[in-house]
């Protein structure tokens, strides 16, 4: 800086800060020292020729005032901090973690770790400066307490809270540096097992569930056990009682050898089993026949859709072929009122033969008794006691459609 030198003149620079290369020269180089950015420095130059003097003043502004509004800071992890660059109106270039729009004058950041942010500013005079700010991030302490377990429905205290819900619970505490400390604890709720089972039985039978016995009515039987995880498990059995089939035994059936006999079971059931076995599986009605006279018995087990069973007994009396020769007739009787052998009749039997009529004659051929209904003579004639004697009888035996008469004598004793 300076002026054009003139012959015969002397020059002298005056400065209040910094240094000048040639204090007695018309122009020289100035070296500023310890000047703040944007500060103005005034230089004075005196020009003299012995008779007159001219003073020159030169003013210079060095750089510009710039910076970041916030100082170097210490924050807690998760907190935000606002940074503002100055002067306004400059061009800004920010760099560092979390900077989204580097050209913005204002930045709101939340660094996750300690870092240094750089700002480059360019003013209207194209002066470029760099500045920096340090952000120290204090991390919170995280303490994981031993996990807890409980059974469903059994609350426990976890971090001051009484609960029976699975999850990770936390509580925040303030450290001496003002940052939060996080305490974590996990709670696992173990399940209780509740199971339901259905059982059924037929009334009259016996069903034992645990130590409970069911006979005629249903109900519920529940027991609580301790599972492998230490929690209670409840198992319930719902019992339903079904009415079994109720079928009456039929009257005794009669038949002849080599003649078909029908055994009719109650219809409408799901299951039929005959014993002895027959040649028809699961049949309600079967036909049997026998080649030998005698007494026979069949059992029929009848089951419904609930697997309840009733047993029916079929009694069968099989006669030999119908014949008057099978009829037994006494040759004497004693109508004395003692209740023993007081009437004359065919000996009762369960044969196929049928007595159609009874006629009694005395020794002279006079008919003294005849009946087709009351087939027994009590030893009286016209209401009077008949005398002891030998009497003739005619008995009509019916086999099918061919009646046969049996003639003989009987002795009346008194």
Minimum mean pLDDT among 24-38, 270-284, 310-324, 380-394: which range?
24-38
Dihedrals φ, ψ of 4, to 5°?
-75, 130
pLDDT digits (tens, 9 = 90+) for 237-249: 999 999 989 899 9
Residue 88 pLDDT more than 80? yes
Confidence of residue 325 (pLDDT cuts 50, 70, 90): confident
The confidence band for 173, taking pLDDT boundaries of 50, 70 and 90, is: confident
Going by pLDDT thresholds of 50, 70 and 90, the confidence category of residue 193 is confident
pLDDT of 166 over the 70 cut: yes
Res 364: pLDDT:
94
DSSP secondary structure string for all residues of 224-289: EEE-TTS-EEEEEEEEEEEPPP--PPPPPEEEETTS-EEEEPPSS-SEEEEES--SSTT-SEEEE-
When pLDDT is averaged across residues 197-215 and rounded to a whole number, the result is: 90
Secondary structure (DSSP) of 89-123? TSEEEEESTT-S-TT-SEEEE--SS-EEEEEEEE-
Query: What average pLDDT does the chain have?
Result: 88
**Which of 63-67, 148-152, 399-403 has maximum average pLDDT?**
148-152
Q: Which residue has the higher pLDDT, 257 or 302?
A: 302
In the predicted structure, residue 35 carries a pLDDT above the cut 90: no
From the CA atom positions of the chain, what is the Rg in Å? Answer: 67
pLDDT greater than 80 at residue 353: no
What is the rounded average pLDDT of the residues 370-395? 94
What is residue 116's predicted lDDT score, i.e. its pLDDT?
93
Lowest mean pLDDT among 9-18, 146-155, 330-339, 357-366: 9-18
Percent of the chain residues topping a pLDDT of 70: 98
63 pLDDT band, cuts 50/70/90, is low
> What angle (nearest 5°) sits at the alpha carbon of residue 127, between those of residues 125 and 132?
140
Alpha helices, DSSP H, located in 123-255: none
Reduced to 3 states, what is the DSSP secondary structure of residue 213? strand
Is the confidence at residue 74, as pLDDT, over 90?
no
Q: Summarize the confidence of residues 79-96 as an average pLDDT.
A: 90
Residue 75 in this model has a pLDDT that exceeds 90: no
> Is a pLDDT exceeding 90 seen at residue 323?
no
pTM score, two decimals? Answer: 0.43
Report d(CA 203, CA 243) in Å as an integer. Answer: 6
Q: Model confidence at 195, in pLDDT bands (50, 70, 90)?
A: confident
Alpha-carbon distance of 41 to 32, in angstroms, equals 8
With CA atoms as reference, report the closest residue to 186 among 223, 156, 149: 149
Mean pLDDT computed over 116-127: 88
Start-to-end Cα distance in the chain? 189
Sole residue written with tokens 């059994």: 154
pLDDT at 374: 84
Mean pLDDT of the region 274-297: 91
């Amino acid at each position: 800086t300076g002026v054009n030198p003139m012959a015969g003149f002397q020059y002298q620079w005056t400065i209040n800060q910094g240094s000048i290369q040639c204090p007695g020269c018309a122009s020289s180089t100035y070296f500023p020292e310890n000047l703040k950015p944007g500060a103005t420095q005034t230089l004075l130059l005196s020009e003299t020729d012995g008779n007159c003097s001219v003073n020159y003043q030169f003013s210079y502004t060095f750089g510009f005032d710039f910076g970041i509004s916030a100082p170097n800071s210490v924050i807690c992890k998760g907190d935000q901090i606002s940074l503002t660059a100055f002067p306004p109106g400059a061009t800004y270039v920010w760099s560092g973690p979390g900077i989204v729009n580097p050209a913005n004058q204002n930045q709101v950041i939340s660094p996750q770790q300690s870092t240094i942010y750089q700002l480059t500013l360019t003013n209207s005079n194209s002066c470029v400066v760099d500045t920096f700010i340090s952000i120290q991030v204090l991390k919170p302490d995280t303490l994981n307490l031993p996990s807890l377990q409980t059974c469903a429905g059994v609350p426990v205290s976890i971090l001051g809270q009484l609960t029976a819900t699975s999850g990770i619970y936390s509580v925040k505490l303030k450290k001496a540096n003002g940052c939060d400390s996080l305490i974590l604890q996990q709670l696992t709720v173990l399940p209780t097992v509740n199971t339901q089972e259905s059982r059924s039985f037929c009334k009259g039978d016996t069903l034992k569930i645990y130590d409970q016995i069911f006979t005629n009515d249903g109900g519920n039987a529940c027991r609580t056990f301790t599972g492998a995880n230490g929690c209670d498990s409840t198992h319930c059995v719902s019992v339903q009682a079904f009415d079994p089939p109720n079928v009456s035994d039929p009257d005794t059936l009669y038949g002849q050898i080599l003649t078909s006999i029908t055994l009719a079971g109650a219809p409408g059931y799901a299951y039929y089993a005959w014993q002895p076995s027959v040649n028809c599986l699961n049949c309600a009605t079967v036909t049997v026949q026998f080649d030998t006279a005698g007494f026979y018995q069949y059992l029929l087990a009848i089951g419904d859709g609930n697997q309840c069973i009733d047993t029916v007994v079929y009694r069968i009396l099989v006669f030999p072929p119908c014949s008057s020769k099978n009829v037994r007739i006494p040759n004497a009787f004693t109508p004395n009122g003692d209740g023993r052998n007081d009437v004359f009749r065919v000996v009762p039997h369960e044969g196929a033969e049928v007595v159609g009529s009874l006629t009694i004659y005395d020794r002279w051929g006079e008919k003294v008794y005849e009946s087709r209904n009351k087939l027994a003579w009590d030893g009286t004639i016209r209401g009077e006691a008949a005398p002891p004697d030998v009497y003739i009888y005619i008995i009509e035996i019916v086999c099918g459609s061919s009646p046969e008469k049996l003639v003989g004598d009987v002795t009346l004793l008194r």
